[in-house]
Amino acid sequence: MRKKRLLGAVLSGCFFLLYFGGLLCLFFFSGLFTGDVPLSIFIIFSVVLAIPFFGVLLALYYRIREIQNGEEDEAKKY
């Protein structure tokens, strides 16, 4: 059962990381090739797209640690 939870967490985390990473790469490459975007707007939008990427990465780390420590199994006893 623990492997099933771990697999689900990793798959959903990877999906969102690929999604936000793809958006970030798309924004970088479109900004590099067109050159019409001012630098301040480019930086602001890059940070806005990067925040969920690192948030999902951090949440995935904590979820994996929670599953490995068996915190859910202990909570089911009560």
Residue 2 has pLDDT above 80, yes or no: no
pLDDT digits 0-9 by tens, 9-54: 889 888 988 888 888 888 878 776 777 777 788 788 888 888 888 8
Q: Are 64 and 10 in contact (CB under 8 A)?
A: yes
Per-residue H/E/C for 16-64? HHHHHHHHHHHHHHHHHHHCCCCHHHHHHHHHHHHHHHHHHHHHHHHHH
pTM of the model: 0.69
Residue 77 has pLDDT above 70, yes or no: no
- pLDDT value of position 30: 78
User: Could you report how far apart the first and last alpha carbons of the chain are, in Å?
Assistant: 19
Residues making up the chain, counted from first to last: 78
